């Protein structure tokens, strides 16, 4: 597999976490504009972290704390609490945390992974751009797929979104 193929595979693998989190977030009452902003946030954060990692190259050889896992738990617990207490999810779902905070925390692993690509001599700007584009596209697909699920089960969608984010956090802990 050539360098481009490796970067595409890396982008797809980096995007799977975003896709899953975006599917859960899509179950929330997020406006169309916020969905596009969230997808851009996911893509930008993944791209910037991959770029930083590629630039740092082999200088980064330690693991970062599991900030993404903590963010999944915090988001999941908050959403579950709001949904189960009949609170309005609109404000939480459309908050800056969902557009920037969660994507940023989920992208920290790309710093280390990008460093591996950088140490291997992969093209920096092309790599970061492809990773960001793939992650943004997968996040957007997840957000709209989640919104479709919300239309099927509107009453329980908020609780399902919170539980989904919690399960993603548990999975991340188990595989850490």
Map out the domains of the chain as residue ranges: 3-174
Q: How many residues does the chain have?
A: 176
Q: Residue 134: pLDDT band by 50, 70, 90 thresholds?
A: very high
For the entire predicted model, the pTM comes to 0.74
For residue 164, pLDDT beyond 70: yes
Tokens, residue 128: 């970061």
Angle, vertex CA 142, rays to CA 37 and CA 92, nearest 5? 55
Query: DSSP assignment, residue 63?
Result: P
* 69 in Cβ contact with 169 (< 8 Å): yes
Q: Which of 13-17, 18-22, 26-30 has the lowest mean pLDDT?
A: 13-17
């Amino acid at each position: 597999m050539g360098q481009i193929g490796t970067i595409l595979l890396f982008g797809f693998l980096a995007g799977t976490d975003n896709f899953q989190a975006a599917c859960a977030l899509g179950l929330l009452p997020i406006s169309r504009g916020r969905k596009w902003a969230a997808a851009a946030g996911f893509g930008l954060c993944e791209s910037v972290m991959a770029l930083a990692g590629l630039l740092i190259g082999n200088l980064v050889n330690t693991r970062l704390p599991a900030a993404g896992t903590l963010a999944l738990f915090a988001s999941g617990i908050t959403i579950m609490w709001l949904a189960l207490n009949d609170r309005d999810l609109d404000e939480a779902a459309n908050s800056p945390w969902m557009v920037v905070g969660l994507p940023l925390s989920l992208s920290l692993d790309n710093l280390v992974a990008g460093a591996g690509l950088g140490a291997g001599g992969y093209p920096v700007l092309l790599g970061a751009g492809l990773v960001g584009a793939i992650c943004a596209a997968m996040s957007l697909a997840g957000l709209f797929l989640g919104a479709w699920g919300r239309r099927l089960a509107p009453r329980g969608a908020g609780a399902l979104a919170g539980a989904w984010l919690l399960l993603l956090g548990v999975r991340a802990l188990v595989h850490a």
